[in-house]
Each structure stands twice: as structure tokens, then as C-alpha cells.
A and B are shown apart, each in its own frame.
Chain A
Amino acid sequence: MDELIYTLKQQIIEALNLEDMKPEDIDENASLFGEGLGLDSIDALELIVMMEKNYGIKLQDPAKGKEIFKSVAVMADFIAKNRTK
């Protein structure tokens, strides 16, 4: 799981153009939206595309994204359970 979390952080940084960040800078339990990394609605959609591209998970309902993207840790957990790639 640690490896998945680290890889996920790298993929988030790449997908969202978080140019000045390194995986070490992201706290896996901090909220991604709102306070934490301050991501917005377009970032959420981009993460949905990233999950399909890298892990074969198709999310039809953007509202579900809110729960899954609570933090990197929550995201990793969801991916581990649902990945098809």
C-alpha cells in the first residue's frame, strides 16, 4: 500500500501540473480539496480521467468523486479495491 500511495502522489502531481511539489510534500491524510492542496472541480475531473487511464476504474458520477478524493490515503484504498489494471 505504501508503494501505491507514493506512486499515486507522483501521478497526482503529474496529472494536475503541481509543478513545485514533490511526493514528500503531500500528506496522504490531508484533504485534497478545500484546505489541503486546494484543488478545484476541474482537478477532480482530471483525477477521474487519471484513475481510468492508470487503473482502469470508470467513475460515471462526478459526485462520487468527492468521497473518493477525500485524501490520498482514501483514494489509494479505493483504487486497491477496484483496480482492473
Chain B
Amino acid sequence: MIKHQVYISPNEVKVDGKALAHNEKGSALLTELYRNNIGDYPKFFKMDTLSKLGFIASELLLNIEGNRSFEPREDRAVILFNRNASLQADTHYQSTIQDPEHFFPSPAAFVYTLPNIVTGEIAIRNKYFGETSFIVIDDYDEQIIMKNLDIAFQDPVTTSIIGGWVDCSDEEHFEARIFLMEK
């Protein structure tokens, strides 16, 4: 059962269907949302765009849930989907090894060249020791997403899921539609 939902695109932010006011667009919007709603997590600036997007969407979701205790728990799973995997991070990392004359592979960039690092970042922030997963599908498909989230509840340990679509093709083009679901 869906308790809360968050939608973020380069132009729009909605929490439980209600628009959130903002001044910026695109990557600047993500920074604005960080400063206005979080502000105390400098690691945010090391993240790639996909992780920033997923992190902020989860923060808005958890803020609306309330009672943020940051107590370790294993009954909440984080299961996300997208089409582009870690494309933006891959492109950024590739640029550090593209030029044979100026060849400096960046470890900080390489770390993000996996789509499931965003589920890791959400788990690290909130001390979630439960199931995490990342699934790549052809396109946004609510049926497939909901079916898979239902399947995750097969695990008797999992009582709650942060799940949904977190996709980004480059720094200025992204979309997040995530839900907080309870069994």
C-alpha cells in the first residue's frame, strides 16, 4: 500500500501530489532542493546526478513520513528501477580516460559507475540494512515496477519499501517517481 510519493523532474517537484515551490531548474534544482530540505550532508556534492536525484527524492519522501530517527533497521528495502543505468556517471568517468595525452582515471567518478550506488547512498544515510536492488528495464512501466515491489514483500523480513523509478541520462535530464510502500 502506497503511503507517500515524490515526483522530481528538471522543472517540477511534487510531494504527495502537491507542487513544491522552487526557483531553479535542472541540476541547479537538485542543489536548491538539497540546501532547502537537507543541508547537513556534504557528501551530497560528491555524488553523481543519479545518486543526487535518488538521495533527494528519498529525503523528501522520508521527511513527509516524519519521525526520522536514523535508527538501524532491516525491514525497509530500497528497490529502484531505470532505463539508463548509470549513464551520466559512466560518461563523466569516460571523459577522464578518453584522451591518451591527458589520461587520469578518476576513482571518485568510477565509484558511481553502477546504478545501485544510489540505493547504497540511501542505505548509508538512513542505516537501512535490509534488501537493496536495482533493476534496469526498457522504459517506465508502472505494472512491472509494482509487480516487482510486491514480489519483494515475499521476504517476511521486509515490511516497508522505498521503491520506484530514478532515471537520468545527463546532468540536466532526469526523472524520479518514488513511493514509500508498507506491507
Contact = CB atoms under 8 A, between A and B. Distances in A.
Would A and B touch once assembled, by the CB under 8 A criterion?
Answer: yes
Interface of A: 15-20, 42-43, 45-46, 49, 52-53
Contacts of A18: 42, 45
Nearest to B44: A19
A49 B105 CA distance: 8
B107 interface: yes
B107 A49 contact: yes
Interface residues of B, number: 9
Contact of B108 (A43, A52, A53): A43
B106 interface: yes
Interface in B35-59: 42, 45-46
Interface of B: 42, 45-46, 104-108, 111
B107 A46 contact: yes
B45 A17 contact: yes
Contacts of A46: 106-108
B106 A49 contact: yes
Main secondary structure of the interface of B (DSSP, over half): helix
A19 B45 contact: yes
A43 B106 CA distance: 10
A43 B46 CA distance: 10
Contacts of A42: 107-108, 111
Contacts of A19: 42, 45
21 contacts: A15-B108, A16-B46, A16-B108, A17-B45, A17-B46, A17-B108, A18-B42, A18-B45, A19-B45, A20-B42, A42-B107, A42-B108, A43-B108, A45-B107, A45-B108, A46-B106, A46-B107, A46-B108, A49-B105, A52-B104, A53-B104
Nearest to A54: B104
A45 to B, nearest CB: 4
Closest 8 CB pairs of A and B: A19-B45, A45-B107, A17-B45, A46-B108, A17-B46, A53-B104, A49-B104, A42-B108
A15 to B, nearest CB: 8
